[in-house]
Amino acid sequence: MTQPADLPKDATHRLEELEHGLFTSDLSVNEFLLVKEAGFHPLGFVMGSSIYHIGLQTRKWGESQELTKLTEAMYTARELAMTRMEEEAEELGADGVVGVRLDVNYYEWGSDSAEFIAFGTAVKAEDGTSYKNALGKPFTSDLSGQDFWTLLQTGHVPQGLVMGTCVYHIAHRKLTQALGSVGQNVELPNFTQALYEARELAMTRMQDEASQLNASGIVGVRLEEKSHQWGSHTIEFLSLGTAVTKTTGEVTLPTPLTIISLDN
């Protein structure tokens, strides 16, 4: 399922309906208005999913280390879901997808498996300008309609939702180590360094993705930490953000208005 032809039959049927003018979207009314104000029209709600079997990897009890197999699984599965969502957007002739969300679901019937889902609203510029990214694909972004409008006012356009992940095993402390520092307030440099390294790896990988898109920066970076079903000593560090490029030179932003709300 890597080519556009691999979309499910029902997806093709749904997309055909959307091509005839009807659009679906998960935008709120305010978001819809601002996306229109920014010069874009929603084409349809698009999604992609991948059910992935996450392999096993041995870990050393007393050693902090990256679990590369798990990192690869978590990254590839999300990429597959994202690619399928982009395929749906391309089928609709979209310039991009806004409000992208990434979820991971676990089911009782699939031990060691997880479903990775990506969904968002495909949009197209009303004036016919192409906003496809440096790779010739529709841009993706986790920005809300309001954020999308604001970003365009700053002279930047989104290039893609970029992410980096790192699954890291945090070492257990040996009895001798624990006894050696009992009753003391001390820094545990090995733990500090392990957690630090894991987050930096996730962020570096995210920035590598942005560089491939020739982005000038990433906005709204989030750093999420989850143990999923691996126990408390194995943590996935996921770094996510929207890569942007600057399109125009000097931009003069309007001075914000001071208001007083008369609502309760």
Partner 1 sequence: MADPAEDLPEAAVRRFSSGAFSSGLTVPDFAACLQLGLQPVGLVQGFCVMQWGWYGSGSSYMRGANPYSMGGQTAGAYSESYRCPHGYVSAEHRMWGQNLEQPWVEQAWSSGYHSAYARMLEEATALGAHGVIGVVDRVTQVSDSQTSEFHFLGTAVTVDDGPPPAGGTPWTTYLAGQRLTKSIEAGFMPIAVVASMASVRVWAYCITEYLMEGGRGWGNPNQVQEVEQVTKAHMAVRQLARKHVRQQLVGDALHGVEIDVVKRELAQGDEVIDCTIRGNRVRRFKDFDNVPAPRPTVRLS
Residues 6+ apart with CB under 8 A from 153: 251, 253, 254
The length of the chain, given as a count of residues: 264
- Which helix (H) or strand (E) covers residue 82, if one does? helix 68-91
Q: Does 34 bind partner 1 (CB under 8 A)?
A: no
* Residues 230-259, mask of contacts with partner 1 (x by CB under 8 A): --xx-------x-x-------x-x--xxxx
> What whole-number distance in Å separates Cα of residue 68 and Cα of residue 115?
20
46, 47, 92, 151: which one contacts partner 1 (CB under 8 A)? 151
Least gap, CB of 8 to partner 1 (angstroms): 34
Provide the angle, in degrees to the nearest 10, between the axes of the packed helices 29-37 and 145-153. Answer: 20
Q: Does 204 bind partner 1 (CB under 8 A)?
A: yes
181, 224, 226, 247: which one contacts partner 1 (CB under 8 A)? 181
Least gap, CB of 5 to partner 1 (angstroms): 34
Report yes or no: 53 and 113 within 8 Å, Cβ to Cβ.
Answer: yes
Q: CA–CA distance from 71 to each of 55, 58, 113 (Å)?
A: 10, 13, 14
Q: Does 228 bind partner 1 (CB under 8 A)?
A: no
119, 199, 236, 238: which one contacts partner 1 (CB under 8 A)? 199
215 SS3 class = coil
Least gap, CB of 28 to partner 1 (angstroms): 9
30, 68, 130, 247: which one contacts partner 1 (CB under 8 A)? 30
Provide the angle, in degrees to the nearest 10, between the axes of the packed helices 9-19 and 68-91. Answer: 40
Residues that bind partner 1 (CB under 8 A): 29-30, 143, 146-148, 150-151, 153-154, 170, 172-173, 181-189, 191-193, 195-197, 199-201, 203-204, 206-208, 210-211, 215-223, 232-233, 241, 243, 251, 253, 256-263
